[in-house]
Amino acid sequence: MKRMFFYIAIVFAFVASAPIKNGYEVGDTASDFALKNVDGKTVSLSDWKDAKGFIVIFDCNTCPYSKAYNERIIGLNKKYASLGFPVVAINANDASESSGDSFKEMVSYAKRKGYTFPYLIDETQAVAKAFGATNTPHVFVLNRAGNDLKVAYIGTIDDNARNASAVSKKYVEDAVDSLLTGKTVANTKTKAIGCGIKWKNS
Amino acid sequence: MKSFLTLQTNTNPESQIPLGLKMRITLIFGLLFLCQLSWSQGSELVKLDKLQQLIQGEKQQIQVVNFWATWCAPCLKELPLFEKLNGERKDVHIRLVSMDMDLDPDPEKVRKFVVRKKIQSEVLILNERNPNQWIDKVDKNWSGALPATLVINNKTGKRKFVEKELHEGDLEKLIAEVQ
């Protein structure tokens, strides 16, 4: 019994001393994941053998910002999938907090919008936490470096949520264009107003 | 037309009211009109600079700033907590800062919402574009997700920032932490 307490104390000390890390920073290596897609199949980033990188977007069905950006997200995949940077959308919202984000609703939303990219459910929210996603839509551009996927950009899609035709800075497109032409990404981190991810028991 | 005119001159009630009373009536109606005006025109549009001036200018009360929007479900869930505190504590100044204009250029929706929900706390509507340029000025730790709440005590210089939905008792705890 005493020994057990000792081990618990050691584990506790270890956990307590570990630095608190809130997701990825630019330059970090992203871990792969295995999440269920709206077609029922499990998807991992390693499924794309030839991808130069990814545009991972934490998104959802219900947030007005997600709705405002929906066409632009579809457009990103249309433009960049063939260039080696496909969009991978992930919904981490807890369906008990946001019923419109249930798997069933995701399936019909993807169908209605004609998604040509995976729309994955992060039921345990472990992937959103690993990435440090906070809101929707929240973009992480990953760039392949050997066997690793390095985080090259974190933030919002562009500088005008309200009006797609009045955008002056296309942050995600600029980042991917830079990666495609071997330049350094100028703007690696941006912020935007958005809906907070609906965490479990929060 | 003619009969209408004669009817009007014949039944003009004002001619029978003494001048003093007439002035008082005008004054009362005028005041009522002004009240109405300020009620419907509440929820002033502000720039971030102005908001920061307002928050930093008050030493006597603890400043609570809640960033919310009419479309944000968790924001509306926590709204009664701010309203309750606004009614209870004179040592706290609550400001509900709407972010609605980031998506919708028409502030009237917010004003109608405030009237419909009978919100008593001070409501301001942030009129800024390009959040990437100003979110860090509110707090470096803010991702931009709503709801978010800032609690500042200008006397002690202490501040707290949280980016999540608050529950019963959370606000009191945050206020105690900046005392």
Do B79 and B129 have their domain in common? yes
8 Å CB contact between A118 and A38: yes
Do B123 and B137 have their domain in common? yes
Beta-carbon separation of B99 and A155 below 8 A: no
For residue A29, what is the DSSP state? B
pTM of the model: 0.83
Whole-Å CA distances, B22 to B34, B36, B40, B177: 18, 21, 27, 56
Do B52 and B116 have their domain in common? yes
Q: How far apart are the first and last CA of chain A?
A: 35
- Residue recorded with tokens 């690993």: A130
Is the pLDDT at A17 greater than 60? The verdict is: no
* Binding-site residues on chain A for chain B (CB distance < 8 A): 64-65, 68, 98, 134-135, 138, 155-156, 159-162, 190-199, 202
Do B117 and B136 have their domain in common? yes
Do B22 and B62 have their domain in common? no
Q: Which of B130, B132, B143 sits opposite A135 (nearest CB)?
A: B143
Contacts of B140 in chain A (CB under 8 A): none
Is the pLDDT at A53 greater than 70? The verdict is: yes
Q: Which of B73, B74, B146 sits opposite A193 (nearest CB)?
A: B146
Band (pLDDT 50/70/90 cuts) for residue B38 is: very low
Beta-carbon separation of B71 and A64 below 8 A: yes
Is the pLDDT at A152 greater than 50? The verdict is: yes
Do B19 and B82 have their domain in common? no
Of residues B101, B52, B97, the one with CA closest to residue B79: B97
Q: What integer best gives the mean pLDDT of chain B?
A: 86
Element (H, E) at A42: strand A42-43
Number of domains in chain B: 2
**Interface confidence (ipTM) of the complex:** 0.84
| Nearest chain A CA: its distance from B103 CA (Å) | 4
Q: How many C-beta atoms surround the C-beta of residue A112 within 10 A?
A: 9
Distance (Å, rounded) from C-alpha A72 to C-alpha B69?
Answer: 23
Beta-carbon separation of B129 and A160 below 8 A: yes
What is the pLDDT, as a whole number, of residue B10? 44
User: How many inter-chain contacts (A to B, CB under 8 Å) are there?
Assistant: 66
Of residues A89, A196, A202, A189, the one with CA closest to residue A134: A196
Percent of chain B whose predicted confidence (pLDDT) is above 90: 74
| Nearest chain B CA: its distance from A27 CA (Å) | 19
| Closest chain B residue to A69, measured at CA | B103
In Å, how far from its chain's centre is CA B33?
A: 20
Beta-carbon separation of A191 and B163 below 8 A: no
Q: Which of A98, A194, A197 sits opposite B144 (nearest CB)?
A: A194
Residue from B100, B103, B138, B141 to probe the interface with A (highest A Cβ count within 10 Å): B103
Whole-Å CA distances, A75 to A87, A175, B41, B103: 10, 15, 40, 20
Beta-carbon separation of A196 and B102 below 8 A: no
Domain region containing B150: 44-177
Element (H, E) at B98: strand B92-98
Q: What angle do CA A85, A198, A140 make, to 5 degrees?
A: 20
Residue from B133, B143, B146 to probe the interface with A (highest A Cβ count within 10 Å): B143
Is the pLDDT at A19 greater than 60? The verdict is: no
Is the pLDDT at A65 greater than 70? The verdict is: yes
H-type helices in chain B, by residue range?
A: 2-10, 19-41, 48-57, 73-88, 108-116, 135-138, 170-177
Do B36 and B21 have their domain in common? yes
Do B58 and B33 have their domain in common? no
| Nearest chain B CA: its distance from A178 CA (Å) | 20
Q: Which amino acid is at B179?
A: Q
Between strands B122-126 and A138-145, the pairing is unpaired
Q: Which of B105, B135, B163 sits opposite A196 (nearest CB)?
A: B163
Contacts of A135 in chain B (CB under 8 A): 143-145
Tell me the average pLDDT across B125-131.
Answer: 94
| Nearest chain A CA: its distance from B138 CA (Å) | 12
**CATH code of residue B119:** 3.40.30.10
What is the pLDDT, as a whole number, of residue B5? 40
Structural domains of chain A, with CATH: 24-196 (3.40.30.10)
Do B156 and B70 have their domain in common? yes
Do B102 and B167 have their domain in common? yes
pLDDT per residue as tens digits for the range A85-142: 999 999 999 999 999 999 999 999 999 999 999 999 999 999 999 999 999 999 999 9
pLDDT per residue as tens digits for the range B52-74: 999 998 889 999 999 999 999 99
Contacts of B147 in chain A (CB under 8 A): 196
Strand order in the sheet with A148-155: A42-43, A35-37, A119-121, A87-91, A53-58, A138-145, A148-155
Do B6 and B94 have their domain in common? no
Beta-carbon separation of A134 and B130 below 8 A: no
Do B89 and B166 have their domain in common? yes
